[in-house]
Structure 1
Amino acid sequence: MKPWLLPITLEGELVRLEPMQKSHKVDLVFAASDGKLWELWYTTVPSPPNMNSYMDTALLEQQTGHSLPFTVIDKKTNKIIGSTRYMNSDSKNRRVEIGSTWYAQRAQRTGINTECKYLLLKYAFETLNCIAVEFRTHYHNFPSRNAILRLGAKQDGILRNHRIDEQQNLRDTVVFSILDSEWKTVKTALQFKMKRGASK
């Protein structure tokens, strides 16, 4: 049976999303070091010592068809600025989650996240024919929650005590989604934001 998630390069005006490769490791470490993103307790950005295992897990999940990790490249500089992925793939029910997204501090609030999400949503709904695309984030990650809402996603609910993190803290996970019936309106809104340069 043909895999549902196949490696694909997605390209916009600001960014290019390339399938993650081990050769990206050094540049991903450099990107994560811009702002020491791993120090944010409510995120799961890999620290330099953890980058190998982070990438190994992502690439293993790609081999099993559960994920498709991308490296995010700033087209102006041709530099790697972060990572994102399709994950928790459910081909039978045509659902996928967009997650494990992080960007170097210099790339945040620049419009890059909006374009990345637009490219991923467009491919999910218009090529993979998804009936729903999901987003999940830590309850305390308010910047992420607000960014997801600005995309046009709606909150489905909160999974309480969903996980135990590395510090043994209990994590509540906030779940959002965009449905296929909502995509046309969401797409129009995102295109308007990108055209006006209003997306952050």
Structure 2
Amino acid sequence: MSFADTPVLDGRLARLEPLSPAHRENLEAAVGDLWRTWYTSVPAPERIGDEIERRLARQADGTMAPWAVVDPATGRAVGMTSLADPDVANRRVEIGYTWIARSAQGTGINPSAKLLLLERAFEQLGCIAVELRTHWHNHQSRAAIARLGAKQDGVLRNHRILPNGTVRDTVVFSILDTEWPAVRAGLEHRIAARA
């Protein structure tokens, strides 16, 4: 089993499908104005096709496992997510490069998708740690990561220069394999409350 494999992952409130050009139309409609947020890397609607190709190229080189986040109630893709930058020797991977349509936020789709990715990382790939990273200024994302049960490891100052010329401080969170049972229980409780 490879970190870059992308089997279909079915959850109560989300389905993760291997990302493909077939998701382009749904994703172009779903992205809305998210791409205008200066501290995110969400592609503009006309760049969705390029982003799909970029992620598939990373999958081909073994550095990303990209999925489309699908709302099972409608069958429509409402976002993207991935496992990325695997450190196979140290059994670590990052959940990242995620965006979810505004219309799907707060519906339970995101925690359901995260549960599927964490199950994949810990139970199928044998990871001992899963990282999640976000921009210092992305308070919504930081709060959502903390609600998952991840703990903040630190801040990488002046970590990345963004296309708009600003410099990103990256907040790094992680979940350890020893924490996974409690994180899983918390996510299952949140999802059950929405289902």
Shorter-chain TM-score range = over 0.9
Unaligned runs of 5+ in 1: none
Distance 1:149 1:4 in 2: 24
The residue number in structure 1 matching 2:36 is 39
Where do 1:158-177 residues align within 5 Å? 158-177=155-174
> Does the aligned pair in 1 maintain the 2:13–2:191 contact within 8 Å?
no
State the Cα deviation string for residues 154-175 of structure 1 (Å, max 9, x = none). 0000000001111100110000
1:51 aligns with 2:51: no
Letter in 1 for 2:160: R
The residue number in structure 1 matching 2:143 is 146
Letter in 1 for 2:43: P
The residue number in structure 2 matching 1:94 is 91
The residue number in structure 2 matching 1:20 is 19
Give the alignment's TM-score, normalised by structure 2.
0.96
Distance 2:97 2:50 in 1: 14
The residue number in structure 2 matching 1:29 is 28
Structure-2 change in CA distance of 1:4 and 1:86 (3 Å)? closer
The residue number in structure 1 matching 2:103 is 106
SS at match of 1:102: strand
State the number of aligned residues.
195
The residue number in structure 1 matching 2:6 is 7
SS at match of 2:28: helix
> Does the aligned pair in 1 maintain the 2:28–2:46 contact within 8 Å?
no
The residue number in structure 2 matching 1:78 is 75
Please report the RMSD computed on the Cα atoms of aligned residues, expressed in angstroms. Answer: 1.3
Letter in 1 for 2:58: E
1:135 aligns with 2:126: no
Comparing 47-56 with 153-162, greater Cα deviation is found at 47-56
The residue number in structure 2 matching 1:180 is 177
SS at match of 1:92: helix
Q: 2:119 aligns with which of 117, 122, 142?
A: 122
| Percent identity for Structure 1 against Structure 2 | 49
Distance 2:186 2:24 in 1: 35
Distance 1:185 1:126 in 2: 14
State the Cα deviation string for residues 53-87 of structure 1 (Å, max 9, x = none). 21121001101111010001111111111110111
SS at match of 1:89: strand
Distance 1:5 1:56 in 2: 15
Give the alignment's TM-score, normalised by structure 1.
0.94
Distance 1:196 1:103 in 2: 20
Unaligned runs of 5+ in 2: none
Greater than 4 Å deviation, 4+ residue runs: none
